[in-house]
Structure 1
Amino acid sequence: MRAVWPDTEVTEVETVAGSPRRTRLLEVAYRVVMRRAPVLYGVAYDVLRRRPRVAAVFQRLGAPATARALRPVLRRHAPDLVVCTYPVTSGGLALLRRRGELTARTVAVVTDAAVHPFWVWPDVDETWTMLDAAADAVRELAPDAAVRVVPPAVDPRFTPAPPPAREVGHPGLTVLVTGGSLAFGRLDAVVDAVLAAGDGVRAVVLCGRHEALRQALAARRDPRVRALGWTDAVPAEMAAADVVVTTGGGMIASEALAVGRPLLFVTPVRGHGRACAAALAAAGLALVCPRPADATRVVADLLADPARREGLAAAARGFSGRDLDGELAALARRTV
């Protein structure tokens, strides 16, 4: 936004639940559940996704607290436009809009490929999705919603990159493996499955904040594995990879597509991971490997078939090459 609207004051508010305390509580609860009881998270996600009326009850219960926390922030800044990238916060904005307390134009940006009912708030002015199928899902839940299909916004460092140069003595594949910032899923098993595809395969593993995983992989002393902790070099690592493997989806999937890399979901985590994987696979933008053995087979196929790799890369480039700047310019015209 700052690049497209140079004369505009843009303020970022870093919160997911409306207040620092609730934000921290939500972060801890999410991490614990995903580590200790991922099945519970997946069941809850799927039940609410399939029963939007039940989801609506929880939406109504949560929105007032978020609205109370957002009210002083909005009064302080008096914005003309509010763009929200988290569904819980969008709920607070929607409630304030419905009550007439917020006159600014509001946009809810769905940052995942799949739409959950928690993303849908009819009282916001616009809902942005990245896929046509996701837009259709929003309209099913809220027939009067104003929905636009817009390319996802990613860090500008994630730009289309040429295929990585082949190193002397390494004609194979470099596979970037990630489970998000917290390295969700059995990444050790995923790495084993990737390496089993052939001697020419190497794995670069983004362990994020999962230091125990990084140490365990480093202790193997396998020259084919490079395990990284928390790093700001993800754009460069992704550009240097031939294939991106993820267990979670979300932003990492959008970033891989922005760079133009074939995207594989391997044993995607329950809930949003599986939903994102299914949505991108249906759009022809990813391959899904439900079991580690499937990953071994698919990576071996990609190693042997450069044309297939290029087909996936071309689909990624086509998806990410849409005009986000044009959409932002149009949003500015709708706002003033």
Structure 2
Amino acid sequence: MHPNHNRNLSGNPIFPGCYADPEARIFENRYWIYPTYSAPYDDQLFFDAFWSEDLVNWHKAERIMERKHVSWAQRAMWAPSPIERNGKYYYYFAANDIQSNEELGGIGVAVSDRPEGPFRDAIGKPLIAQFYNGAQPIDPHVFIDDDDTAYLYYGGWGHCNVVKLNDDMINLKPFEDGQIYKEITPNGFVEGPCMIKRNGIYYFMWAEGSWGGPDYSVAYGAALSPLGPFNREGKILQQNPDIGVGAGHHGVIRIPGTDEWYMVYHRRPVSETDPHYRVICIDRIFFEEDRILPVELTSEGVPRRPLQTSD
């Protein structure tokens, strides 16, 4: 990828290749996107990441984690969610697509000293290895609240759980009532949870529909607690048959110190029927008071937006 500093728009997709389920972060004054490598499950055996200083010129960090770094992973590694804490980077991911408690797999956690990895399995086994409250252990999303409490939202098969992470980020911590796995499933939830906080309100977003089909989409609910209850307010991302279909499973970037928000998501080009042909796109999120407005799919993407360096 060769930066083109004459370009003022990111365009969509923002970088080449088949990728999906992006998590979006700002680490070390750079934008980072951590996606799934989109391929049949038996080929989905590594992760790449991408970074940018301006949302337009993207650079690839290759194979930041591979199956050989995770002793228990056999196939289907996907949906990463990293976060920085205490100078280290913790990377949550799903592997093996388990269908029952008899199978080995679930949600793992890896760690690195750098945002580009290499990430190594932190505990030698899955962090969440069973079905609780009916939730398949996939699609982790990590969120650290303003009070420094770390939450991990996850789930597939129409159920969503939240767990608390210990200060070491590699163990689960019970809630005050002794529960470890709290179900917070909103109406319509399928998979792909994502949490942001704005002006004291928690906005919980999730994917609906079938990931391989054109109707894959994102809906949201809002609450005054990270545990909800989250009542479905409506869809905020869905296909535009003129631009892209199957738009869903996203991450969110907020420009620090501003009320400027971006959604990073995957979609399928209109002409594509292969379910694995998914590409990473970015478009603006706008709010109207405390509502998230539907995100408009574009081919243009977003304008250049260098991060301000803090001295």
TM-score class, shorter-chain normalisation, is: under 0.3
TM-score normalised by structure 2 residue count: 0.23
Higher normalized strand content (fraction of residues):
2
Higher normalized helix content (fraction of residues):
1
Higher gyration radius (CA): 1
TM-score normalised by structure 1 residue count: 0.22
